[in-house]
């Protein structure tokens, strides 16, 4: 997402991909984009144009069309990237993982054209981390998220993604604290990063410090169900049950999640 979590919809990254593809489709609909415009190939444009159909009754047939385009351009890095991103934006994470795997294998063996940049590979690896997390393959999610951060160790999004994943999965809390704190330092106004840091503090048992960060994140992102759930959880740990109940109910109004529902039931017994 904007973080890796089995319960979180992607993120920042997924949202950006969806918006980018939607803009492209809109431009095409208005006949403002030709086959060679914006440096995109005909195959890339065709895949992007198919995104809306992945949400309807033509989903399977559309996926077959995308796969056919990919198979005819299986050594084209840009085509594979666009296909993976469109699948991710459509919530078809298993399909995205399959294409992402092919991209990274070919990139590592030098079989992609043009030769991908380190930025290209990092974006694909980060997207793969998200997609693997969404389908419950946490170890692979960690592997790909680590790969993205290794390529760009000062990228705040990659720091946030890995830090949140480590905290949420109770993998390495000290490291999660370190890298989420760095993400906030690099991008101090990002509510997702602040939330990740607060969640890492929560997971480390530093509830008062966590609360301060999570209150700030909620002020910046009041419509985030995830952030309000985290804030409610911190209130529970501090025995501020009335405030916890308010935040958990607000979280559930925004989005029904099993974590928030379970915690609310627990404190209302």
- Flag whether pLDDT at 24 surpasses 80: no
Residue 235: its H or E element: helix 225-237
Q: What is the pLDDT of residues 154-181, one digit of tens each?
A: 999 999 999 999 999 999 999 999 999 9
pTM for the predicted model, two decimal places: 0.82
**What is each CA distance from 111 to 27, 115, 121, in whole angstroms?**
32, 8, 13
Cβ(230)–Cβ(218) below 8 Å = no
| Tokens 């593809």 found at | 21
Q: What is the pLDDT of residues 204-262, one digit of tens each?
A: 999 999 999 999 999 999 999 999 999 999 999 999 999 999 999 999 999 999 999 99
CATH classification code of 158-269: 1.25.40.10
The domain locations on the chain are 1-152, 158-269
For the chain, what percent of residues have pLDDT higher than 70? Answer: 86
Residue 132: its H or E element: helix 118-134
Among 188, 234, 230, 238, residue whose Cα is nearest residue 211: 234
Q: Do domains 1-152 and 158-269 have the same CATH topology?
A: yes
**What is each CA distance from 73 to 62, 99, 126, 153, in whole angstroms?**
17, 12, 22, 32
- Flag whether pLDDT at 115 surpasses 50: yes
CA distance 210 to 202: 5
pLDDT of residue 4: 40
Give residue 40's pLDDT band: very low, low, confident or very high (50, 70, 90): confident
CA distance 128 to 148: 10
Cβ(179)–Cβ(159) below 8 Å = yes
Give residue 39's pLDDT band: very low, low, confident or very high (50, 70, 90): low
pLDDT, averaged across the chain: 88
146's tokens: 């680590």
CA distance 148 to 157: 10
Q: What is the pLDDT of residues 81-105, one digit of tens each?
A: 999 999 999 999 999 999 999 999 9
Of 1.10.1740.10, 2.60.40.10, 3.40.50.850, 1.25.40.10, which CATH number belongs to 1-152?
1.25.40.10
CA distance 264 to 35: 53
CA distance 62 to 15: 21
DSSP-assigned letter for residue 76 = B
Average pLDDT over residues 46-63: 92
pLDDT of residue 30: 42
What are the backbone dihedrals phi and psi of residue 144, each rounded to the nearest 5 degrees, phi first?
A: -70, -35
């Amino acid at each position: 997402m904007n973080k890796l979590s089995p319960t979180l919809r992607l993120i920042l990254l997924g949202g950006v991909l969806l918006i980018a593809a939607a803009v492209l489709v809109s431009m095409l609909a208005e006949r403002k984009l030709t086959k060679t415009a914006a440096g995109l190939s005909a195959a890339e444009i065709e895949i992007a144009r198919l995104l809306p159909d992945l949400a309807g009754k033509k989903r399977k047939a559309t996926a077959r069309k995308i796969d056919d385009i990919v198979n005819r351009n299986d050594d084209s890095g840009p085509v594979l990237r666009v296909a993976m991103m469109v699948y991710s934006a459509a919530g078809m994470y298993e399909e995205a993982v399959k294409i992402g795997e092919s991209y990274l294998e070919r990139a590592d063996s030098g079989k992609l054209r043009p030769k991908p940049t380190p930025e290209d590979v990092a974006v694909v690896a980060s997207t793969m981390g998200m997609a693997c997390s969404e389908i419950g393959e946490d170890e692979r999610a960690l592997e790909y998220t680590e790969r993205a951060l290794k390529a760009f160790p000062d990228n705040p999004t990659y720091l946030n993604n890995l830090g949140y994943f480590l905290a949420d999965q109770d993998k390495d809390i000290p490291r999660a604290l370190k890298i989420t704190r760095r993400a906030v330092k690099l991008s101090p106004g990002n509510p997702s990063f602040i939330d990740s840091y607060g969640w890492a503090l929560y997971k480390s048992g530093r509830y008062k410090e966590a609360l301060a960060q999570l209150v700030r994140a909620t002020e910046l992102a009041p419509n985030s169900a995830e952030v309000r759930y985290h804030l409610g959880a911190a209130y529970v740990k501090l025995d501020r049950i009335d405030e916890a109940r308010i935040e958990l109910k607000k979280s559930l109004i925004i989005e029904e999640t099993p974590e928030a529902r379970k915690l609310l039931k627990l404190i209302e017994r």
